[in-house]
C-alpha cells in the first residue's frame, strides 16, 4: 500500500481508503453485518489503514459496525475519518437547512437537515466517539455546507476540538472554491472530500489548482460512480428496488459509458486486473488527488480494491485513457 500525507497535518492515510457509506445499508438495499465487518478486516489486513464514514450512513449503523470491527486492533495504526452536519432526528428543533427526505429500513420518511452550528458539532462528535468506541477522531469533516451557519462558526468549533485532542485534523466535504477560501480565514484545513471520477472531473478547473497551491488534500469519493465504472451493471446485474443507484445511474448515458469501458478493458486485461482496479488506480494518479475512497460490502471486494495500488500504468496507457475520455468531451448525459 502507498501512504500519503494529508495536507500539512501529521496524518498519513492509505491512498486507497475504505469508504463506509454502503455498509450503513440505508439507500443501498440493506446490508449484511458480518460481510461488512469481514470487509473492514480484509481491508486492514491488506494495508488499507484509513476508514471514512459518517453518522448519516445507516443513521449511525456504519459507525457502530466500524467500532465493532476495529475493537481489539491497534488504534494508533488506524485512521478514522468521520463527519458531522447532517441531522435526521428532532434534536435540532427544525434548525438548519432541509436537504432531502430519507427513508429508514421500515420505509418511514426521515427529513434530513444540514446543520453545522458549534453546539451541534460538539453534540455530534460525542455521539460518534461513542459509536466508534474511541476517544479521538483522526479527521473530522463537515458533511455538506450549511447555509444557515456561518462558516467561521463551524471552523472555530473544529479548531476547539483539535485543541481538546478530540480530533487530529479538520476537513470539509463538498466545499466549492469560495467556501474553501472563507474557511481558510479561520482554520488551516487538511482536506476537502469531493465527488470525482472519470465521468465527473469538474473539480479540475478550480478546486484542484487551489488545493495544490495551498497544500490541501483532495479526498475523492465516488471514483467508481457507485459501481457504474466496474462494468458489472452492463452484464445483467440487478439492483434492489430501494437502492438509490436506480435513480443515480440515470444521469449518465449507458451506451457511452459501456463503449468507453470496452475500450479500456484491454489495459485491465494486460495487467491481470479488473476494471474496478484500473479505474481506482487511474484516479489516484490524477494531479491533486491524495486519497481515493473505495467501498466494499464483503472481503473479496475489499481485497480487490486494495490490490489496485499494485497496478503500474505507463504514460502511453494513461494517455490512451485520457484521450478516450476527451474524445467524447465528458458528455455522458
Contact present, 140 and 83 (Cβ < 8 Å):
yes
**170: β partners:** 140
Report pLDDT for 332: 44
Identify the CATH assignment for 3-247+272-312 out of 3.30.1310.10, 3.20.20.100, 3.40.50.920, 3.40.630.30.
3.20.20.100
Dist CA 249 CA 231 (whole Å):
12
Q: Enter the pTM of the model.
A: 0.92
Report pLDDT for 32: 78
Q: How confident is the prediction along the chain (333 residues), in pLDDT tens digits per residue? A: 999 999 999 999 999 999 998 886 554 445 578 999 999 999 999 999 999 999 999 899 999 999 999 999 999 999 999 999 999 876 667 789 999 888 766 777 889 999 999 999 999 999 999 999 999 999 999 999 999 999 999 999 999 999 999 999 999 999 999 999 999 999 999 999 999 999 999 999 999 999 999 999 999 999 998 788 988 876 666 666 556 666 677 677 778 888 999 999 999 999 999 999 999 999 999 999 999 999 888 999 999 999 999 999 999 999 999 999 886 555 544
Where do runs of H (alpha helix) occur along the chain?
Answer: 33-45, 61-70, 118-132, 151-163, 177-183, 207-213, 245-248, 254-270, 275-284, 299-306, 315-326
Cell numbers placing 312: 503500474
Report pLDDT for 246: 64
For residue 247, count other CB atoms closer than 10 A to its CB.
Answer: 8
User: Is there a catalytic annotation at residue 57?
Assistant: yes
Dihedral angle, C-alpha 287, 293, 298, 301, nearest 10 °: -10
For residue 149, count other CB atoms closer than 10 A to its CB.
Answer: 22
Check 18, 57, 221, 233 and give the catalytic one: 57
* Domains of the chain by residue range: 3-247+272-312
Contact present, 274 and 304 (Cβ < 8 Å):
yes
Dist CA 93 CA 279 (whole Å):
43
Can you spell out the DSSP letters for 261-283? HHHHHHHHHHTT--HHHHHHHHH
Report pLDDT for 255: 80
Amino acid at each position: 500500500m502507498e501512504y500519503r500525507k494529508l495536507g500539512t497535518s501529521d496524518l498519513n492515510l492509505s491512498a486507497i481508503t475504505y469508504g463506509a457509506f454502503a455498509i450503513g445499508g440505508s439507500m443501498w438495499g440493506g446490508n449484511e453485518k458480518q460481510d461488512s465487518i469481514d470487509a473492514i478486516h480484509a481491508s486492514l489486513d491488506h494495508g488499507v489503514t484509513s476508514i471514512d464514514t459518517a453518522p448519516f450512513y445507516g443513521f449511525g449503523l456504519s459507525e457502530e459496525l466500524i467500532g465493532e470491527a476495529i475493537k481489539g486492533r491497534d488504534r494508533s495504526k488506524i485512521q478514522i475519518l468521520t463527519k458531522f452536519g447532517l441531522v435526521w432526528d428532532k434534536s435540532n428543533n427544525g434548525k438548519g437547512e432541509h436537504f432531502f427526505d430519507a427513508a429508514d429500513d421500515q420505509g418511514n420518511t426521515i427529513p434530513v437537515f444540514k446543520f453545522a452550528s458549534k453546539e451541534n458539532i460538539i453534540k455530534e462528535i460525542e455521539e460518534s466517539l461513542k459509536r466508534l468506541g474511541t476517544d479521538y477522531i483522526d479527521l473530522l469533516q463537515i458533511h455538506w455546507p450549511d447555509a444557515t451557519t456561518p462558516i467561521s462558526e463551524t471552523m472555530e468549533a473544529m479548531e476547539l476540538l483539535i485543541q481538546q485532542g478530540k480530533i487530529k485534523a479538520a476537513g470539509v466535504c463538498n466545499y466549492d472554491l469560495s467556501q474553501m477560501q472563507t474557511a481558510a480565514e479561520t482554520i488551516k484545513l487538511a482536506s476537502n472530500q469531493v465527488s470525482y471520477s472519470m465521468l465527473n472531473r469538474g473539480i479540475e478547473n478550480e478546486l484542484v489548482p487551489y488545493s495544490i497551491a495551498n497544500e490541501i488534500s483532495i479526498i475523492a469519493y465516488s471514483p467508481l460512480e457507485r459501481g457504474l465504472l466496474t462494468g458489472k451493471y452492463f452484464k445483467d446485474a440487478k439492483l434492489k428496488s430501494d437502492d438509490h443507484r436506480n435513480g443515480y445511474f440515470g444521469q449518465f448515458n449507458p451506451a457511452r459509458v459501456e463503449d468507453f469501458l470496452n475500450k479500456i478493458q484491454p489495459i485491465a486485461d494486460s495487467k491481470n486486473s479488473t476494471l474496478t482496479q484500473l479505474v481506482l488506480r487511474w484516479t489516484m494518479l490524477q494531479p491533486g488527488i491524495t486519497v481515493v475512497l473505495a467501498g466494499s460490502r464483503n472481503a473479496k471486494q475489499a481485497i480487490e480494491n486494495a490490490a489496485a495500488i499494485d497496478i503500474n500504468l505507463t504514460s502511453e496507457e494513461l494517455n490512451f485513457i485520457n484521450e478516450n475520455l476527451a474524445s467524447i468531451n465528458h458528455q455522458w448525459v
